[in-house]
Amino acid sequence: MMKNSSASRARAAERSLWRIFFAPALIALASSVGLISGLVGDGLMDAIAWIGLGAPVAASAFYVFARSSD
């Protein structure tokens, strides 16, 4: 019985860690793509940079305003 319980707790912890770090990793990826495309190119790359660097700002604003409306 003890092995089953510890295995299910380990799986639950693994799932919760994935859920915890998924959004920050996605924001970091968008920021990195935005920074690199802004430094490397012009034209379309500038638009990608604006979107990539605007995504973390938009996510932050969304959660600030969503939390204040509660």
Write the pLDDT tens digit of every residue in 22-33.
989 999 999 999
Conformational region of residue 42, where left means phi above 0, alpha means psi within -120 to 50, and beta covers everything else: beta
* pLDDT reading at 1 higher than 60: no
CA distance 43 to 49: 10
Give the best-scoring range by mean pLDDT among 7-11, 25-29, 62-66: 25-29
Q: What is the pTM of this model?
A: 0.68
- Per-residue burial over 33-60, b = 16 or more CB atoms within 10 Å of its CB, e = otherwise: bbeebbeeeeeeeeebbeebbebbeeee
Which one is predicted more confidently, 16 or 59? 59
In this prediction, residue 6 has a pLDDT band, given cuts at 50, 70 and 90, of confident
